[in-house]
Amino acid sequence: MQRREFLSSSVAAGWVLSAGTGAALSAAESPMERDSNSVFYGAPVVSGPAADSITILQAVNGPASGYVEWAVGEEPFQRASGEVAGLLPYDEHVLKFVLPSLPAGKEIRYRVVARKIHFKTDYNIQQGEPIVSETFRFRTLNPAAHETRFVVWNDTHENLDTIRKLQKLSTEFSPDFMLWNGDQTNNVHEPSAMREQYLSPGQLPISSNWPMAYARGNHDLRGPAAREVARFTGTPGDQFYYAFRSGPLAALVMDTGEDKPDERDVFAGLAGFDPFRERQRLWLQGVIEQDWFRSAPYRVLFCHIPLWWKEETAKRDFWMCAERCREDWLPLLVKAKVQLIVSGHVHQDALLPASATQPIPQLTGGGPKPDKATVIEGVASGSSLKIVCRSLSGEVRHSVEIFRDQLSDNGTTDTHRFAGTFSRTPIACRYDRIDRPFLS
């Protein structure tokens, strides 16, 4: 069950507190026509999974401003103003608030206060009445926790039926964090559509009560508004590659970019993913040497495009991205003892065990249609990391368990045992069945 507190009866009756004075405002006193439901577009989103990097995003209906009130447990509310370079938030689609560093493993209460803004002239700016959202709760991740639970979505491609089912299953699973592993969209042409694509599809509360880690997919790179994606997501530092720790799990989130070479004519000279992958390689080189990562019993890479494909002899343009990612990243991933790669993109779930030419097992989720979609559920504990890939009807498609056998003196894992259930055909480095092997 989602844990929420509803507004007090005074707010429900139409009275809210003025942000500046604390005095009650009535509809008659508001400079703009009051509509208590119009400023918010769906529920807020908690993004950026680490305790020291949490962003609250709230989709809005038209130009608005506001702030977030947050509190640790039942402590008094504090305010996150959203100030950037002296300016407070003002946007017609989304308000974005970066919270200060929060204590690990603590329940956080928060609510959004927003009001409409209308510029008539530079010195004549109309402010709507402040409207207060429901109060939501989430728990910050705890690197020291003995266990962590997570869910992974991928390739939803704006299919609302699939998203509704994923939301229901995720709520029942009650994860510590959710990871949306790319291709939330078909393309990104208009910022006005992106609040629905990234924040509140069907106005569902997709990630109001747990932090969401966002991974960018190749379809999220397509269209004139692709450069606006960071505006609607809350990744640490607005970067599309980052890492975090939740209990015994160290998670790497990396951006595989487009699925065709930069020089392809279809990009009209606007793609530069080769240097972007190189920057990620240099970043990865440093991250895997940090103590919080080295001491993690389990290490997983989440990325949209798989690093291994069914066939790498046909349609070379479509898998060259994977080849280049392997060339840049694989030596470091092996050095870091990454135990599993979780990806999407091909719209067909599959589990590829490690082999002589594929040193790391790879699990790929399905989607986007409900009969092809999957939800990936993971539980990392003191004894093992268990990951199950299910259809939306609950059928187990694949399961993986990585056992922690022993730890060295510095806490790093010396040896692991890997057990997987490989469906249909147990052959290494091959997809057992792919209905849509290449996504154009």
Say whether pLDDT at 180 is over 80.
yes
Among 318, 343, 377, 370, which Cα is nearest to 154's? 343
17 domain-assigned: yes
Domain endpoint, select from 110, 138, 166:
138
Q: Which tens digit of pLDDT belongs to each residue from 248-268?
A: 999 999 999 999 989 999 999
Estimate the share of the chain in helix, then strand, then coil, as percent rounded to the nearest 5.
20, 30, 50
Say whether pLDDT at 206 is over 80.
yes
Looking at the fold, whether 356 and 404 belong to one and the same domain comes out as: yes
* pLDDT for the residue numbered 312: 61
CA–CA separation, 269 and 127 (whole Å): 43
Q: Residue 340 is part of a domain; what is its CATH number?
A: 3.60.21.10
CA–CA separation, 201 and 91 (whole Å): 19
Among 44, 34, 31, which Cα is nearest to 11's? 34
Q: Dihedral of CA 160/48/304/267: which sign?
A: positive
Looking at the fold, whether 245 and 127 belong to one and the same domain comes out as: no
What pTM was computed for the model?
0.85
Which of 49-58, 328-337, 384-393 comes out lowest in average pLDDT? 49-58
Say whether pLDDT at 353 is over 60.
yes
- The alpha carbon of 215 is separated from its chain's Cα centroid by a whole number of angstroms, namely 6
CA–CA separation, 46 and 199 (whole Å): 10
Say whether pLDDT at 196 is over 80.
yes
Looking at the fold, whether 300 and 370 belong to one and the same domain comes out as: yes
Q: Which tens digit of pLDDT belongs to each residue from 261-314?
A: 899 999 999 999 999 999 999 999 999 999 999 999 999 999 999 999 766 655
What is the number of structural domains in the chain? 2
For range 413-421, the mean pLDDT: 49
* pLDDT for the residue numbered 2: 38
Please provide the DSSP assignment of 19-63 as one string: TTT--EE-GGG-SS---TTTSB-S--EEE--STT--EEEEEBSSS
Q: Do the beta carbons of residue 181 and residue 344 sit within 8 Å?
A: yes
430 domain-assigned: no
Element (H, E) at 65: strand 64-72
Among 45, 39, 44, 42, which Cα is nearest to 115's? 39
* pLDDT for the residue numbered 51: 82
β-partners of residue 149 are 379
- ∠ at Cα 5 (18, 41), nearest 5°? 65
Say whether pLDDT at 407 is over 80.
no
Looking at the fold, whether 153 and 204 belong to one and the same domain comes out as: yes
Phi, psi torsion values for 336, nearest 5 degrees? -80, -5
Phi, psi torsion values for 369, nearest 5 degrees? -70, 150
Compute how many other C-beta atoms are within 10 angstroms of the C-beta atom of residue 242: 23
Tokens of 269: 């000279």
Query: How many CA within 13 A on the CB side of residue 115?
Result: 22
Q: Sort strands 107-121 and 124-127 into parallel, antiparallel or unpaired.
A: antiparallel
Q: At what angle do helices 273-287 and 316-335 cross, to 10 degrees?
A: 20
Looking at the fold, whether 117 and 157 belong to one and the same domain comes out as: no
Element (H, E) at 162: helix 160-173
Say whether pLDDT at 152 is over 50.
yes
CA–CA separation, 252 and 338 (whole Å): 9
For range 180-186, the mean pLDDT: 97
Amino acid at 326: R
Compute how many other C-beta atoms are within 10 angstroms of the C-beta atom of residue 317: 14
Q: Which tens digit of pLDDT belongs to each residue from 61-85?
A: 999 999 999 999 999 999 999 999 9
What is the band of 11 on the pLDDT scale with cuts at 50, 70, 90?
very low
* pLDDT for the residue numbered 379: 98
Neighbour-count burial of 309, counting CB atoms closer than 10 A to its CB (0-12 exposed, 13-18 middle, 19+ buried): buried
CA–CA separation, 252 and 283 (whole Å): 11
CA–CA separation, 259 and 256 (whole Å): 8
What is the band of 411 on the pLDDT scale with cuts at 50, 70, 90?
very low
Looking at the fold, whether 279 and 164 belong to one and the same domain comes out as: yes
274 domain-assigned: yes
Looking at the fold, whether 231 and 346 belong to one and the same domain comes out as: yes
Give the length of the chain: 440
Looking at the fold, whether 117 and 158 belong to one and the same domain comes out as: no
Greatest mean pLDDT range, 292-306, 309-323, 417-431: 292-306
Angstrom CA distances, 310 to 69, 80, 315, 329, stand at 49, 48, 11, 20
* pLDDT for the residue numbered 38: 79
Domain containing 18: what range? 4-41+56-138
What is the band of 405 on the pLDDT scale with cuts at 50, 70, 90?
low
* pLDDT for the residue numbered 34: 37
Domain endpoint, select from 114, 138, 162:
138
Q: Which tens digit of pLDDT belongs to each residue from 37-61?
A: 579 999 999 999 888 889 999 999 9
* pLDDT for the residue numbered 311: 65
Which 3 state secondary structure label does DSSP give 303? coil
Domain endpoint, select from 107, 138, 169:
138
Looking at the fold, whether 253 and 390 belong to one and the same domain comes out as: yes
